[in-house]
Structure formats: C-alpha cells, structure tokens
Amino acid sequence: MSSMTRQNVGTFLAKQGILVAFVLFMIVFAIANQRFIAMDNILGVVRSSAIIGVMALGVTFVVIGGNLDLSVGSMMSFSTIVVLDLHDKIGPAMAIPAMFALTLLLGAFIGFLVGYLKLNSLIVTLGMLSAIHGLTLTWSGGKNMDIADKSGTWFSFFGQDRVLGIPVPILIFALLAVLLHMLLSKTAFGRQVYAVGGNGQAATFSGIPRARIVFMTYLVSAFCVAVAGLLQASRSLGSQNTVGQGQELVVLAAVILGGASLLGGSGTVFKTVIGVLILGFIQNGLLLMGLDFYVQYMVTWAIIILAVWLDVAAKRGRLWSPIA
C-alpha cells in the first residue's frame, strides 16, 4: 500500500513537476533574497518575459498541432523592423495593421507549406528563418531602424506605458494568454488542434480538416509574433535587424519546459505561461544573487533537460533509458 502511494506521489510529481519545481524555486529564492518577491521586481520580470511569452503562446498551438516553428524569432525581427519603418512613413495608426497583415501573410505561407503541402515543419521553418531574415535585411537595407521623433509618438504606449499601475506589455500578455487559453481549451478549433497533433490520421478519418487546422495554428503563431514585434518596437522605438535572432529556441524551450510534447497532442497555454515565467524568474533570481547572466544559460540547460527527462521517465516508468 505504501508503495502504491509512493507511486502516486511519483506520478503527481512527474505530471505537475514543473509547477512544483516552480513553487519550490520561488520559495528558495524568496528566502535567499527578500527583494525577489517585491511587487516591482515581479512585475519587472513578467514585463521583460512578455515578448518571449507572447511568442510562446502562439508556438504552443503549433507544437500541440504536432509541428515546430523555428521561424518566430526571425519573423519577430521582421515585424519590428516593418512597423518601425512604416511608423514614419504612413503613421502608427496605419503601420500597425499593415505590419499585422504582412506578418500574418508570412504565417499563412508557412501554414500553407506545412498544412496543405504537408512538408516537414522543422525544415520549412528553418528555411523560413533564413528567408525572413533575408526579407528583413532587404526591407531595411541592412541598417538599424529608428523612429525619428521618439518623444512625440503615442506608439510607445504598448511597450512603455502603464495602465492602473501595471505595465501594458504585462496586460497584453495576460489578455492574450486568457484569450488563447479559451481558444485552445474551450472551442472546437482547440479540440481539433489536439486531435490533429495527437493522431493526424485518426483526425482525418474523423472528418477533421487537418490541413486547415495546421494552417490555422501557424496563423495563430504569426499573430502572436506580430504582437511581440509590436511590443518590441514600441519598447525601444528603434531596432536592429537581428532583434529576434535566436529567440525561436528560447521560445521553444519555454514551451517544452511547460510540458508540451514535441510529438504533438499535449500541452496547455497555462503550462506554457508557467514555462515562460520559470525562465524569466530564473534569470532574475540569478541576477539578484549576483551571478552573471551566462549562469542563467547553464541553469536553463539543466532545467530543460531535467524537466523533459522527468516527463519521459514517468511515461516509461523508469528513470534511465532502456537503450543498450
């Protein structure tokens, strides 16, 4: 009987391990440094995680649908550069919808390739990572993009202002998280995403338009990237062409940390948010402890592998791989 309960505890830990780790982690850091749980510090962390977080929300859809998206970092650079460039040319009120339209167009292109042409998403988005980077450089002529009049634009609202004392990026992140959580967990579309990622063939045999669902997940991802680009542009009002470079992998790390399987069919928006926050708070906590930023890289490394390892181990019922 005691072995039975021990097993249950083990299963619980393995299933909710990421949440447990998060809470433990917060407690340890809070004890080590009071400042860690100060309200302004927490808001600061969430705010700086918002851009990665927003992209991770979109990638969650793609991953649950059984695919990958390695192009979000590159696409975010594109959105940022485009909206900054258009800001001075056609004004912010037009620049924002134009940027959203262009970003969604890129998402639709990827969605078409992966959904309708059924190409391997890893390679397609790898190719798009490169292609969109080239597109961005062509758009900007390789130069940094800056808004001419940085103090006189309401465009800074999204990245810099506060509403009710809460930074706008946090509000946008939270709002988007709630909306996408509803979309994924409550609607028929969300259910179909899980079905397509869990077993694409069975989904097709059940009359689910698999290609269209995959296509839609990339649109959701592109929409989130556009929001992230908006936040990024609005925060700095100027940007390099490579602002999103490498972020696709951090985003993916957050999604995986949240427990989504790369095979598709599992994961939730809520867990992805936890994954994002863990990455954010680790960075912050280590900085508060006076450790250099690169320690964060290594801790993240360890945490990703441990998290996935625990998950895999729980599924196969043994810690070490049976591979000879």
Partner 1 sequence: MTGPKPALRLEGIVKTFPGVRALDGVSFDVRPGEVHALMGENGAGKSTLMKVLGGVLAPNEGQIFIGDDPVVMTSPKQAKAMGVMFIHQELSLAGELSVAENIFLGELPLKSFGRVDWAKLYAATDRILETLNVGFDARTRVGDLSIANQQMVEIGRALTVNPRAVIFDEPTASLTDAEKVVLFKVIADLQARGVGIIYISHRMEEIFKITDRISVLRDGQYRGTLITSETNEDEVTQLMIGRSLDLSRNASHHQMGDTALEVRGLSCGRLFEDVSFTVRKGEVLGFYGLVGAGRTEIAETIFGLRTPSAGQILLNGQEVEITSPIEAIRLGISLVPEDRKDQGLVLGMNCKDNMSLPQVGRLTKGPFVSHGAEIAIFDKYREKLDIRTPGWRQAVGNLSGGNQQKIVIGKWLSMHPEVLIVDEPTRGIDVGSKSEIHNLIRDLAAQGFAVIVISSEMPEVLHVSDRIVAMFAGRVMREFTSEEVTEDNLIQAISGLEAAGRG
Partner 2 sequence: MTSQNRRDLIKQGGIWVFIAVELAFFSIAGNYLSASSQAFMDFDNMLLLLKQSAPIGIIALGMTIIMINGNIDLSVGATFALAAIVLLDSMTWPFMQNLGDWAIPLAWGFALMTGIVLGAINGLIVWKTGVDAFIVTLGSMLGFRGLVFMYNGEQPTSHLNWTLVDFAEAQFLGLHTATWFLLGTALVLWWVTTRTNHGRNAYAIGNNRDAAVNAGIRVGPHIMWNFMLIGFLAALSAVVFYSESGSVNPNDGMLYELWAITAVVLGGTKLAGGYGSIIGTLGGVIAIQLLRKGLGHIGADTQTVNLVIGLILIAVLVLDRQLNRQGKEELKI
Q: Select from 45-53, 76-84, 188-196, 290-298 the region that touches partner 2 (CB under 8 A).
A: 290-298
The count of residues interacting with partner 2 (CB under 8 A) is: 56
d(CA 269, CA 246): 22
Least distance CB 160 / partner 2 (angstroms): 26
**Residue from the set 258, 265, 267, 280 that interacts with partner 1 by CB under 8 A:** 265
Longest dimension (CA), the chain: 72
**Stretch of 55-63, 91-99, 203-211, 279-287 lying at the interface with partner 1 (CB under 8 A):** 203-211
Residue number, 169 or 259, with CB nearest to partner 2? 259
Q: Could you report how far apart the first and last alpha carbons of the chain are, in Å? A: 33
Element (H, E) at 32: helix 2-32
Does 1 participate in binding partner 1 (rule CB under 8 A)?
no
What are 199's two structure tokens? 């077993």
Task: Rule CB under 8 A: choose which of 42, 174, 308, 314 binds partner 2.
Answer: 308
- Asked whether 234 and 172 are in contact (CB, 8 A), the reply is no
Residues with Cβ within 8 Å of residue 43, at least 6 apart in sequence: 166, 167, 170
Q: Quick check: 287 binds partner 2 (CB under 8 A)? A: no
Q: To which H or E segment does residue 301 belong?
A: helix 293-316
Q: To 5 degrees, how large is the angle CA 200–CA 130–CA 112? A: 35
Candidates 12, 116, 154, 309: give the one binding partner 2 (CB under 8 A).
309
127 is a site residue for partner 2 (CB under 8 A): yes
Name residues contacting partner 2, limited to 56-95 (CB under 8 A).
Answer: 70
| Amino acid occupying residue 10 | G
Tell which one of 204, 240, 287, 314 touches partner 2 (CB under 8 A).
204
Q: Is 202 in the site for partner 1 (CB under 8 A)?
A: yes
Q: Is 304 in the site for partner 2 (CB under 8 A)?
A: yes
Residues 6+ apart with CB under 8 A from 92: 153, 154, 155
CA 131, CA 167: separation in Å to the nearest integer? 34
Q: Does 194 engage in binding with partner 1 (CB under 8 A)?
A: yes
Angstrom distance (rounded) from CA 271 to CA 259: 7
Q: Which two tokens stand for residue 309?
A: 């390892």
Amino acid at residue number 102:
L
CA–CA distances in Å: residue 136 to residues 129, 145, 242, 301: 11, 11, 9, 30
Q: Does 131 bind partner 2 (CB under 8 A)?
A: yes
Asked whether position 207 contacts partner 1 by CB under 8 A, the answer is yes
Choose the contact partner of 291 out of partner 1, partner 2, none; CB within 5 to 8 A by kind. Answer: none
| Residue with Cβ nearer partner 2 (83 or 113) | 113
Which residues contribute to the site for partner 2 (CB under 8 A)? Answer: 70, 113, 117-120, 122-124, 126-135, 137-138, 142, 200-201, 204, 210, 245-246, 249-250, 252-253, 256, 262, 292-298, 300-302, 304-305, 308-309, 312-313, 316, 320-324
Which residues contribute to the site for partner 1 (CB under 8 A)? Answer: 182, 186-188, 191-192, 194-195, 198-199, 201-209, 265-266, 324
